[in-house]
Each structure stands twice: as structure tokens, then as C-alpha cells.
Amino acid sequence: MALVNRVILKSQAPFLMVKRFRGKINIQKPRKPHFERQLLIDLSQPFYGPRKNSLPDFALCDRGEKLAKKEIDNPFERILARECLDWFNTSKMVVFLHVNSISMEDKTPIFASLRKNDMHLRTYGKKIVSMATKGTRYEAVNHLFTSQQNIIFGQPENAAKMFKILKKTPQLVILAGIIQDKLMSKNELLEFSKMPSLDMARSQLCAVLDSAGSSVVSQLNQSQQILVSHLEKHVELQNKPKIQDAES
């Protein structure tokens, strides 16, 4: 029996037993907490200002002077602003977009298609664009920004391709654009994209000039050709009687 008691594990009785003092808690006059607990209660106690009915009238006026928000110089923002200004200066076509709710899964193919056609989609905030365009000729575009904005940087000859790519995503809405330092609306950009390229326009102009020159040359030679044809006809008529006399 003693061996069995050694093998079977025995449940140990607790050394500490919690017991309520005097049967119930005194809620009306609780005991003062110890020092550390009282210190924590004092530190975490919320602070409320004076009541408005106890303040004078001049303190209740909302038109008083308000403290200006202190601007913090952020070096990273200055780097982004410099990069944004470089894009403005090196791109002859700048298009501003309004972005509705769109996931990155839908936006990534558009970014890749624009990059493939030598166009770059960038996202800048209002503060960054304001820092970049302040004191420059692009300062008027700050009115288009309310928060983060998407901008397409590229060249004017790719305008038609840009409209074709953005047609697949109605979440990206064109607001305005800059073509060779001229601010254009969406309709003006659409009309510009339908125009032929500069090389094609030059070839058409060369064809028109060439046709005008050839027309002038043909008109100048026309009188000479008519005169030559009349002389040949006259010579033929003069030689015809001699031939008839010789035959007779």
C-alpha cells in the first residue's frame, strides 16, 4: 500500500489562500491605496480646463490670434521637390490626372504600358509640388492639387498612345496638361492627339511645296510647248503642197 501511494501523484494543497477581509468591501469609505498605486492614479488622471462660464468674455472670442503652425524642414521633401522640378523641365508633355478608387493590381499594368511608350507616371503631394513650382512658370498648376496627385511626364508625340492606354482604366481621369509650355484642357489635349506628328506634317508641307514648284514649271513650259506644236503644224502644212506636186 505504501508503494502504491508513492507511485500515484498526490495533489498538493495551496500554500496561500485568498480570503476577503471582514466579509465585504467598504465602498463608501475605501481604504487609501499604497503609494505606487496612488502615484499611477494621479499621473493617469485626465486634466480638464476651466469651465466656460467661469472664463471672461475676451477668452471666449474665437477671433483671437492663433499660433501659426511651425514648418519643419524635411530634407527628403526637398529632394522630392527637386526631382519633380526636373521632370517638369525635361518633359514637353505633362498631364495631370484625377485618381478614383483603384487597386495597385489594376494600376500596375497601366504604369508598365506608359513606361514602355516612354511615359512616366509619378505621384506627388500638394506640398511637394508647391515647393517644386514656387517661383517658376509652373506655379499656376498648384490650383489643380488638393492632396496626392498623379502626373504623367512624356513627349507630345505620345499623346495618342496615352489616351489609348488610359481608355482601359476609367479610374484615371485627365484634368489638364501642359504641351510645350502651354496649359491645355482635356478637350484641347484630345484634339492635339489627333493631329499628325511633326515629321508627317513636314513631309506634307514638302509635298505641297514640291507640287507648287512643279505646277509653276509646267505652266511656264506650257506656252513654249504650244508654240513648238504650232510651228511644227505650220511646217507640216507648208511641206504638204510640195509633196502633192511631186507625186503628180
DSSP 130-174: HHHHTTSTTGGGGGG-SS-EEEEEE-GGGHHHHHHHHTT-TTEEE
Between 127 and 62, where is the model more confident? 127
Give the helix/strand (H/E) hosting 99: strand 93-99
The closest alpha carbon to 96, from 136, 134, 135, 129, belongs to 129
pLDDT surpassing 70 at residue 84? yes
**Minimum mean pLDDT among 112-121, 122-131, 206-215: which range?**
206-215
pLDDT at residue number 62: 66
pLDDT surpassing 70 at residue 98? yes
Q: What is 75-194's CATH number?
A: 3.30.70.1730
Helices 104-116 and 159-166 pack at an angle, to 10 degrees, of 160
pLDDT surpassing 80 at residue 175? yes
Cell of residue 102, nine digits: 483603384
What would the mean pLDDT of 43-51 be, rounded to a whole number? Answer: 86
Q: Locate cell 508503494: which residue? A: 3
What would the mean pLDDT of 158-182 be, rounded to a whole number? Answer: 87
Between 72 and 167, where is the model more confident? 167
pLDDT surpassing 80 at residue 13? no
pLDDT surpassing 60 at residue 119? yes
Cell of residue 154, nine digits: 512624356
pLDDT at residue number 56: 83
pLDDT surpassing 60 at residue 243? no
Mean pLDDT of the chain: 80
Between 218 and 109, where is the model more confident? 109
d(CA 154, CA 68): 39
141: confidence class by pLDDT, cuts 50, 70, 90: confident
d(CA 207, CA 201): 10
242: confidence class by pLDDT, cuts 50, 70, 90: low
Considering 6-10, 138-142, 205-209, the range whose residues carry the highest mean pLDDT is: 138-142
What would the mean pLDDT of 161-175 be, rounded to a whole number? Answer: 88
